[in-house]
Every structure is written in C-alpha cells, then in structure tokens.
Amino acid sequence: MADTTARKLHIVMFPWLAFGHMIPFLELAKLIAQKGHKISFISTPKNIERLPKLPPDLVTPDLISFIKVPLPLVENLPENAEATVDLPTDQGPYLKVAYDSLQETVARFLEESAPDWVFYDFAPYWLGPVAAKLNIPSVNYCVMAAYVLAFLGPMEDADRKGPEDWTVSPKWVPFPSPVAFRYYEFMKIIGSFRENESGVSDVDRFKLSIQGCDVLAVKSCYEFEPEWLKLLEDLHRKPVIPVGHLPPTPYENGGKDEAWTEMKEWLDKRKKGSVLFVGFGSEAKLSQDELTEIALGVELSGLPFFWVLRKQRVFSHSEMIELPDGFEERTKGGGVVWTRWAPQVKILSHDAVGGYLMHSGLGSVVEAVQFGKALILLTFYADQGLNARVLEEKKMGYAVPRNERDGRFTRDAVAESVRLVMVEEEGKVYRDKVKEMRGVFGDRDKQDRYVDNLLTRLQQIQKERKAKAALIENGDN
C-alpha cells in the first residue's frame, strides 16, 4: 500500500490530442487525485470542454487543475480542429505540427510550477529532455499494452526493412508469440513508420519518448501480460510500472441523461444477452464498402442490435459514408442505429447486451470485459491488430475472417462470426473466457493497489534522486 505519510506529489500530465489518449490520462489523474495528490492536466480549450465531467470535489486547485493552452494556427489544419476526431486521416500530421509548437509553452509551465513529476504521451517526444534540463523527473505513460511497445522494439532496429518483416514476431521476443501485424493491417498504417509533415514518424515518437523518460508507465497489469512487462524492462533498461487497466468509472454528463433513458427503455425490452452492441469508436475511419458489409452482416445475423455509428469522411475530399439503402427501415424494431453521443459504458453494462462487434481498441476491450461481454473483432487502425492477436490467443475474442492481403471481409463472415460468438455452442469458449477475465479487468480494489504501487515507486525514485544529488553536492564540497 502507498505510504500515506509521504509528501503529496504534484504531477503534470500532457496527453496526445486524441480521446483514446486523453481519457486514460484523465482516469489515472482522477485515481491519483483521490489519494490527495495534485494534478495539472494540460490540453487545449476545446478538448478540455469535451472531456468527461469529473466529480466537483476533485476539480480544485489542490487536486485537479485543467491548464488550457491554445493550439497555434498551422497551415493545412482546420481552424477548429483540436483532436484527431475532428480530422480526416490524411490531415493528422498537421495536428502533430501544431502540437509540437506547444513545446515552449509547456516548458514555461513546468519551469514556473516546478512539479515533482511530468507524465507525457508518445507524441511529445521532446518533453523528456525538456523536463531533464529543468531537473524534473518524467514518466512516459503509454495507453497501449506492453506487447505493443515491445513489438515496436528498441531504438535501433535495422533488420525490419519491408512490410513482411512486421508480420512475424521479432527476434528479441524470447517466447512464442502471436503478436504481429497482418499484411493489410501494416499497409494501412505504413505512414506511421515514415517521416511525415511534422518531421518525425509516429514510431520514432514512441521510441524517442521512451528513450527520454526516467520511468515507463503502461496501462496494463501483471495478471494479463507479465512476460511482456518484463521484456520491456529488459529492452529499455529502466523502470516499467503497470498502472492497471483503468476500468472507467461513471461520470455525470449533465443533460445527456435523457439519451440514456431512451436507450435503456429499448434495451430493457430485450432478453438477457441477446443484443449485439456495435461500435468502432471515434478514431476508426470506415470506407463505404466496409460500412456496407458490416451493416448487411449485422442484418444477416438476425440478432437485435444497438449500433453507435459516427458518420464521417475517410479522407478530406471524400463523400460522407452512408448505410445501405433501406437498412434502417428493414431492421426497424429489431435494431437501433444511434448517431449521437452515447454512454458506451452504460450500454455495455446492461444485461441485454451479450456481444460487442468492435475494433479491438484496448480502452473499449477493458470496458466490455469488465462486464463479461463477448468480443467479435474487426480491426481498422494503429495497435488494434496486435490487440486482436492477443485476444484471440487468450480466447477472449474471435476475429472476423478477412483476406490476408487487402483486409476485405464479407457480410457473411460478419454474420457468421457474430452468431458464433453470441449464440452457437462452438463459441461458448469465448463467452466463458471474458466472464473469467472480468476480475482481471474490472476489479476496483486491484486497480487501487496498482495506483498505490505507482505512487510508492515514484516517491521512492524521488528520494533516491535527492539522496544521489546530495552525495554529489557533498562530494563537490
């Protein structure tokens, strides 16, 4: 347990401008603040306004303060775009250009506030060295699993030259592992491995962020991936601290309760475990063909469904994607397509929901497994393919079959996968396994112990740094 007599910490947090990153930073901030420590959470004004609302007793100068830093205007970046959700995929690098230009502002805040620690994301690869110059220890907090970072490998990696090299387990993984991209998954994110308009590739941002920090914190736990957490320490030779999976806690979102009331009334009329929840988050950019096959597959499954659908453009000049003609009319009564904000955690917690057709993003996986919902996996971007390999290996999810080269899938494959996992006897192994894993992902007491351990380790490291500095000073004298 954490030493409650130890001096309280002041921690600055600076996440990347994506809600899949900001929200895990906010969850960790909330848990740390509940133990009496101070958090300064830095982001842009629009993003701070859009974050889930925290309990009022935590939003105080002594606990959680939101530090609003305006995002500079950058050529080719739309004026009101402050997060990845605001942009088509091809404009993402310009958001990083604007983000990098916050370096001086963030450095000034660190110098003036003199925090005990700064927690930063993969994107501000420059922040570790900035903090070091100010004698502020830093934590690179990764919201992805340890196996993702370990798969990316050490700073120098001359062996992987072509796409096929990323479809096999790398040489530094000393145990049998399924963690690797499918060819189509890698080709979809190949731009992340190349220098972009910001001058730095996304993969180099990950590696430089780890290289520049004092401590690597990972949204993970020993019960889920102990061998990968150890491998990370071996690869990078610095402390690796899991912070738990951070199962989300309910937030009050003001006037949005009416939306949940409407959803709950519909769900309450369905049999326990009968409803398929469909949702691919705010970051997945589906093509028209993909949306069509998913919709017709869901229809073919014959199961009642609740689909939270964010209609968006894939690229800046493309047309808005649409559901197939007549889909909503044909499925009326048996299914709901919801295009507004939706309380995903509340939906997944409802007894009527039995399965979740999803993108394999780790945050959504945690949300589903804490309520024992069976997973049907359809990956689209980033680390989702690597997550899917692990979930398949552990029998926690079943991936929709796809063409290995181009990633195409059919409506029949969607329908058959959904029915397998939710209805058929053959899929009982997946339904049972997620129920078994509820304790790993959703145990609040276990999560609390991970936060206690994090704070204890940070306080210990801080004491060691001060003792070492005192020895050096005394030696000089």
Which CATH number belongs to the domain containing residue 381 in this structure? Answer: 3.40.50.2000
pLDDT at 354: 96
pLDDT at 284: 72
The per-residue b/e assignment along 374-398, b for 16 or more CB within 10 angstroms, e otherwise, is bbbbbbbbbbbbbbbbbbbeeebbb
Residues 261 and 293 placed together within one structural domain of the fold: yes
Amino acid identity of 199? G
Q: What is the DSSP letter of 356?
A: E
Residues 419 and 453 placed together within one structural domain of the fold: no
Identify whether 2 is part of a domain: no
Q: Give CA separation, 320 vs 78, 283, 316, in Å.
A: 18, 15, 10
Residues 266 and 237 placed together within one structural domain of the fold: no
pLDDT at 340: 85
By the 8 A CB rule, do 314 and 380 touch? no
pLDDT at 319: 58
Distance of alpha carbon 279 from the chain centroid: 15
pLDDT at 259: 83
What burial class does residue 476 get, using C-beta atoms within 10 Å of its C-beta: 0-12 exposed, 13-18 middle, 19+ buried?
exposed
Tokens representing residue 242 in the block: 């899991």
Looking at the DSSP bridge assignments, the partners of residue 38 are 10
In angstroms, rounded to a whole number, what is the distance separating the alpha carbons of residues 37 and 11? 8
Which contacts of 35-38 are long-range, i.e. CB under 8 A and separated by 24 or more positions? 35/2, 35/451, 35/452, 35/455, 36/8, 36/63, 37/8, 37/9, 37/10, 37/11, 37/63, 37/455, 38/8, 38/9, 38/10, 38/11, 38/62, 38/63, 38/64, 38/65
Identify whether 44 is part of a domain: yes
474: left (phi over 0), alpha (psi -120 to 50) or beta: alpha
Nearest of 307, 13, 301 to residue 140 by alpha carbon? 13
Looking at the DSSP bridge assignments, the partners of residue 13 are 41, 119
Identify whether 251 is part of a domain: no
Identify whether 4 is part of a domain: no
> Three-class SS of residue 143?
coil
Mean pLDDT by 10 residues, the chain (477 residues): 66 96 96 97 97 92 96 91 88 94 98 97 97 97 96 82 92 95 93 90 94 97 96 95 88 60 93 95 82 96 94 52 91 91 91 96 93 95 94 96 95 97 96 93 93 96 86 70
In angstroms, rounded to a whole number, what is the distance separating the alpha carbons of residues 289 and 296? 11
Structural domain including 468 reads: 10-246+445-476
Residues 39 and 67 placed together within one structural domain of the fold: yes
Q: In the chain, how many domains are there?
A: 2
Residues 288 and 274 placed together within one structural domain of the fold: yes
Between CA 412 and CA 414, with CA 274 as vertex, the angle to 5 degrees is: 15
pLDDT at 141: 98
Nearest of 81, 124, 79, 130 to residue 108 by alpha carbon? 130
DSSP conformation letters of 415-446: HHHHHHHHT-GGGHHHHHHHHHTHHHHH-HHH
In angstroms, rounded to a whole number, what is the distance separating the alpha carbons of residues 41 and 48? 9
pLDDT at 281: 80
Identify whether 5 is part of a domain: no
> Three-class SS of residue 401?
coil
pLDDT at 191: 87
Residues 242 and 366 placed together within one structural domain of the fold: no
pTM: 0.91
In angstroms, rounded to a whole number, what is the distance separating the alpha carbons of residues 35 and 148? 30
In angstroms, rounded to a whole number, what is the distance separating the alpha carbons of residues 275 and 277? 6
Q: Give CA separation, 419 vs 269, 298, 302, 320, 354, in Å.
A: 21, 10, 9, 30, 11
Residues 78 and 95 placed together within one structural domain of the fold: yes
Residues 332 and 467 placed together within one structural domain of the fold: no
By the 8 A CB rule, do 354 and 115 touch? no
Residues 110 and 174 placed together within one structural domain of the fold: yes
Q: What is the bridge-based pairing of β-strands 138-142 and 215-218? A: parallel
Identify whether 185 is part of a domain: yes
Amino acid identity of 329? E
Residues 397 and 351 placed together within one structural domain of the fold: yes
In angstroms, rounded to a whole number, what is the distance separating the alpha carbons of residues 60 and 42? 15
Distance of alpha carbon 100 from the chain centroid: 21
Residues 332 and 412 placed together within one structural domain of the fold: yes
Residues 355 and 469 placed together within one structural domain of the fold: no
Identify whether 406 is part of a domain: yes
By the 8 A CB rule, do 131 and 27 touch? no
Identify whether 400 is part of a domain: yes
Nearest of 381, 324, 326 to residue 358 by alpha carbon? 381
Contacts of 332 (CB under 8 A, 6+ apart): none
> Three-class SS of residue 335?
strand
